[in-house]
């Protein structure tokens, strides 16, 4: 008995020693990321699954407050040589990292089996520099789509096709808007989301551009911009068939907008593909953003990007890429999309049987992917955000203060042009 017990103890000790040896031998890969509740949960699961799948690397995820905070902390980490091997950034900051020579070109990590061409075009373009280098890999995509109450739409004699242009949306909104005896609106026809993004999407769908093709001239006060933005001003303030919620703490305005649709105070709203995990699709339906008049829809589709900073350990960087390759394979990008509502990044997701079954049962899940395949890629501001800041200020003037779009956009264009001129001189 004693001999048997001793043998068991020795065997257990050997197992522990072997496990400890493997853990000690594994290379640590530090990874900074941020995201909402569902993305956090899914990220933790994928990190654990990757770590369990092999014994060369241990990915250690560190949750950050948001993408802006991540980027600021990363600058300090680069200066002190304590930057992580992997970081999740929005596409604009990923490009900024590349332009400053602070991130690795990932082409050297890609073997023949990697199949970079399988990534969705709009997202692949955002991580491919002009010189052909790959500044990062798309983690997941996001775009703004339409969510609407299908019963209310039908009860008023309309179909989804009536929402295919913004002029059609305005016509529907005018019909379904309800007022009480005092004339106060009790049910709104549509609720665009607060901020410049929806307005920019609609302007792009009118053929508008932010800067000229040669990168020298700001174009945000052109007729295409003014027509679109002043139409929204009119619909919100003059006609009162649309409404925006603004201000508040954090994402308060976003959830108030969603609540209006869910609580029968508005027909629909323009929101993120990532909202899908929180919506009731027995009541709602989803569709792509509309075009403008005869122009086809051209809303933006952006990617969150895995970036590998320079100056980190080469072996750990190899592990970081292996994790990204694992995370972005067809099976896992499908699982991410099904759980969070964000857009998968590979075309081969359509071959995943679980995703096929899921999208057959939840057809709204294909709407963001459909839009992403024909969307405009996110604008990458060459002025380190100053053009976008000018547009955000102009959007507030139009949406909140009822300032004529021509005036707001002319002021914004002057500020943006000065910033662009400085950027081009540097």
**pLDDT (tens digit per residue) in 104-150:** 999 999 998 899 999 988 889 889 998 999 999 999 998 999 999 99
Same fold, 2-142+302-376 and 143-301+380-425: yes
Q: So what's the pLDDT on residue 9? A: 43
| Of the candidates 300, 285, 273, the residue with the CA atom closest to the CA atom of residue 162 | 285
Give mean pLDDT, residues 81-91: 94
**pLDDT (tens digit per residue) in 146-162:** 999 999 999 999 999 99
Banded pLDDT at 274 (limits 50, 70, 90):
confident
Q: So what's the pLDDT on residue 21? A: 43
Q: Does domain 2-142+302-376 have CATH number 3.30.470.10?
A: no
Residue 6 pLDDT > 90: no
What are the φ/ψ torsions at residue 326 (nearest 5 degrees)? -65, -45
Give mean pLDDT, residues 364-373: 87
Mean pLDDT of the chain: 91
Between 199 and 37, whose confidence is greater?
199
Q: So what's the pLDDT on residue 38? A: 84
Residue pair 409/232 in contact (Cβ under 8 Å)? The answer is no
The pTM of the full predicted model, rounded to 2 decimals, is: 0.79
- Return the sign of the alpha-carbon dihedral for residues 120, 305, 291, 386: negative
Residue pair 376/299 in contact (Cβ under 8 Å)? The answer is yes
CB atoms within 10 A of CB 128: 16
The helix or strand, by DSSP H or E, that contains position 240, with its residue range, turns out to be none
Q: So what's the pLDDT on residue 243? A: 97
Residue 17 pLDDT > 70: no
Banded pLDDT at 248 (limits 50, 70, 90):
confident
Q: Which fold has domain 143-301+380-425?
A: D-Maltodextrin-Binding Protein; domain 2 (3.40.190)
Banded pLDDT at 296 (limits 50, 70, 90):
very high
C-alpha–C-alpha distance, residues 66 and 316, integer Å: 24
Residue 227 pLDDT > 90: yes
224-238, 290-304, 365-379: least confident range = 365-379
Banded pLDDT at 1 (limits 50, 70, 90):
very low
Sequence spans of domains, the chain: 2-142+302-376, 143-301+380-425
Q: Which 8-state DSSP code applies to residue 288?
A: P
Between 163 and 10, whose confidence is greater?
163
Q: So what's the pLDDT on residue 172? A: 98
Residue pair 303/140 in contact (Cβ under 8 Å)? The answer is yes
**pLDDT (tens digit per residue) in 328-349:** 999 999 999 999 889 999 999 9
65-69, 295-299, 391-395: least confident range = 65-69
Residue pair 189/242 in contact (Cβ under 8 Å)? The answer is yes
Strand partners, 191: 269
User: Which CB contacts under 8 angstroms, 24+ apart, belong to 278-284?
Assistant: 278/341, 279/147, 281/362, 281/364, 283/149, 283/150, 283/151, 284/147, 284/148, 284/149, 284/150, 284/364
Q: So what's the pLDDT on residue 24? A: 56
Q: Residue 186: is it exposed, middle or buried by C-beta count within 10 angstroms (0-12/13-18/19+)?
A: exposed
């Amino acid at each position: 008995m004693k001999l048997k017990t001793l043998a068991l103890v020795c065997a257990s000790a050997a197992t522990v020693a072997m496990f400890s040896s493997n853990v000690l031998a594994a290379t640590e890969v530090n990874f900074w990321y941020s995201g909402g509740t569902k993305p956090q949960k899914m990220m933790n699961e994928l990190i654990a699954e990757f770590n369990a799948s092999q014994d060369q690397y241990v990915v250690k995820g560190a949750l950050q407050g948001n993408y802006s905070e991540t980027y600021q902390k990363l600058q300090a980490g680069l200066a002190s040589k304590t930057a992580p091997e992997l970081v999740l950034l929005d596409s604009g900051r990923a490009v900024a990292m590349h332009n400053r020579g602070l991130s690795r070109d990932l082409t050297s990590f890609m073997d023949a089996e990697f199949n970079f061409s399988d990534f969705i075009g709009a997202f692949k373009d955002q991580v491919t520099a002009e010189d052909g280098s790959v500044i990062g890999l798309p983690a997941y995509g996001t775009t703004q789509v339409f969510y609407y109450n299908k019963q209310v739409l039908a009860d008023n004699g309309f179909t989804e096709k009536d929402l295919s242009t913004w002029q059609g949306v305005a016509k529907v909104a005018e019909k379904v808007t309800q007022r009480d005896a005092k004339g106060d609106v009790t049910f709104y026809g549509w609720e665009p989301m607060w901020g410049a993004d929806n307005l920019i999407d609609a302007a792009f769908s009118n053929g508008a551009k932010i800067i000229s093709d040669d990168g020298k001239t700001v174009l945000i006060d052109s007729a295409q911009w003014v027509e679109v933005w002043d139409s929204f001003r009119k619909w919100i303030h003059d006609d009162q068939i649309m409404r925006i919620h603004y201000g508040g703490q954090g994402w308060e305005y976003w959830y108030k907008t969603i609540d209006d649709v869910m609580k029968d105070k508005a027909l629909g709203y323009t929101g993120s593909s990532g909202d899908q995990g929180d919506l009731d699709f027995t009541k709602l339906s989803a569709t792509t953003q509309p075009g403008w008049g005869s122009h086809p829809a051209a809303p933006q589709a952006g990617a969150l990007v895995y970036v590998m900073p320079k100056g980190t350990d080469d072996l750990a960087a190899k592990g970081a890429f292996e994790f990204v390759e694992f995370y972005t394979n067809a099976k896992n990008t499908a699982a991410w999309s099904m759980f969070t509502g964000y857009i998968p990044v590979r075309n081969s997701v359509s071959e995943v049987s679980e995703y096929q079954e899921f999208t057959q049962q939840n057809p709204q899940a294909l709407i963001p992917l459909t839009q992403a395949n024909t969307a405009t890629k996110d604008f990458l501001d060459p002025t380190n955000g100053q053009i976008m800041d000018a547009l955000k200020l102009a959007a507030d003037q139009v949406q909140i203060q009822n300032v004529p779009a021509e005036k707001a956009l002319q002021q914004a264009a002057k500020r943006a042009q000065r910033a662009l001129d400085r950027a081009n001189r540097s």
